[in-house]
Amino acid sequence: MATIRVKLRISTVPGKAGSIYYQVIHRRQHVQLTSSIKLYSHEWDTQNARVRINGEKVSFLLAAQRAINADLAVLHDIISRKEAFGVPYDVADIAFAFRALIPAEEDFFLYMEKRIGRLEEENAHGTALNYRRAYRSFAAFLGKQYLPFPACTEILISEYEQWLRQRKIKRNSSSFYMRVLRAVYNSAVSDGLVPAGNPFRKVYTGIDTTRKRAVDKQIIKQLKKLDLTEIPVLAYARDLFLVSLYLRGMAFVDMAYLQKSDIQHGVATYIRRKTGIRLSIKVEPCLQEIIDRYQEKTIHTPYVLPIITSTDEKQAYREYQNALSYYNKQLKRLSEMLGYDIPLSSYTPRHTWATTARDSNIPLSVISAGMGHSSENITRIYLSSLDNSVIDKANHKIISVFN
Q: What's the CATH code, domain 217-402?
A: 1.10.443.10
In this model, does residue 354 exceed pLDDT 70? yes
Say which residue, 379 or 212, is predicted with more confidence.
Answer: 212
In this model, does residue 323 exceed pLDDT 60? yes
- DSSP assignment of 176-216, as one string? HHHHHHHHHHHHHHHTTSS-S--TTTTS--S----------
In this model, does residue 227 exceed pLDDT 90? yes
In this model, does residue 383 exceed pLDDT 60? no
Mean pLDDT of 318-331: 95
Give CA–CA dist 364/362, Å, rounded.
6
Per-residue pLDDT band for 106 (boundaries 50, 70, 90) equals low
Can you give the length of the chain in residues? 403
Digit-coded pLDDT (tens) for 51-63: 998 877 787 788 7
Nearest to 51 by CA among 116, 353, 376, 60: 60
Digit-coded pLDDT (tens) for 170-211: 998 999 999 999 999 999 999 888 888 899 999 999 876 555
Per-residue pLDDT band for 371 (boundaries 50, 70, 90) equals confident
Mean pLDDT of 158-175: 92
Nearest to 181 by CA among 162, 159, 205: 205
Residue 209, pLDDT score: 58
Spans of all domains in the chain? 3-100, 104-190, 217-402
In this model, does residue 101 exceed pLDDT 70? no
Residue 20 β-bridge partners: 8
Mean pLDDT of 73-100: 87
Give CA–CA dist 40/38, Å, rounded.
7
Per-residue pLDDT band for 374 (boundaries 50, 70, 90) equals low
* Cβ atoms of 372 and 279 closer than 8 Å: yes
- The values of phi and psi at residue 279, to 5°, are -125, 145
Mean pLDDT of 243-247: 95
Residue 146: left (phi > 0), alpha (psi -120 to 50), or beta?
Answer: beta
